[in-house]
Amino acid sequence: MSHWNYRVVHRKHIGRTPEFDEDIYAIHEVYYDDNGKMRAISKEPSPAYANDLQGLDWVLRKFREAYEKDVVEWDSVPEEGSKPFEVQNDTLDNEEPFGITPDGE
């Protein structure tokens, strides 16, 4: 079954000149196929927001779980249409895109 989770993602920001190059670490949504293979990473880092305190608590716990997993290298995800991740269909606010559910849900 397809699923997603939050992961710490590392990418290299290339500056105008080498002295402006820098490493960037951020929490992103990572999407997996039915075989558990990484298929997409959200283009932008995931913000911490929710409609209520209980929802925000859930998001923050999932962020914390991301620290317990290996760091994902931005360039390790296949290129074919996976970055940036864009929802291709219309979903209601309370639906997961493509029927993909968070880990353990």
Q: What is the pTM of this model?
A: 0.71
Would 102 be classed as within a structural domain?
A: no
Contacts 24+ apart (CB under 8 A), 8-15: 8/66, 8/67, 8/69, 8/71, 8/72, 9/41, 9/45, 9/71, 9/72, 9/73, 9/74, 10/71, 10/72, 10/73, 10/74, 11/73, 11/74, 11/75, 12/74
Would 14 be classed as within a structural domain?
A: yes
What tens digit of pLDDT does each residue of 47-97 get? 999 999 999 999 999 999 999 999 999 988 875 444 544 444 433 344 444
The number of domains in the chain is 1
Would 59 be classed as within a structural domain?
A: yes
What tens digit of pLDDT does each residue of 7-59 get? 999 998 888 888 888 999 999 999 998 888 898 899 899 999 999 999 999 99
Would 96 be classed as within a structural domain?
A: no
In which domain, by residue range, is 41 found?
A: 3-86
Would 105 be classed as within a structural domain?
A: no
Would 69 be classed as within a structural domain?
A: yes
Would 100 be classed as within a structural domain?
A: no
Would 12 be classed as within a structural domain?
A: yes
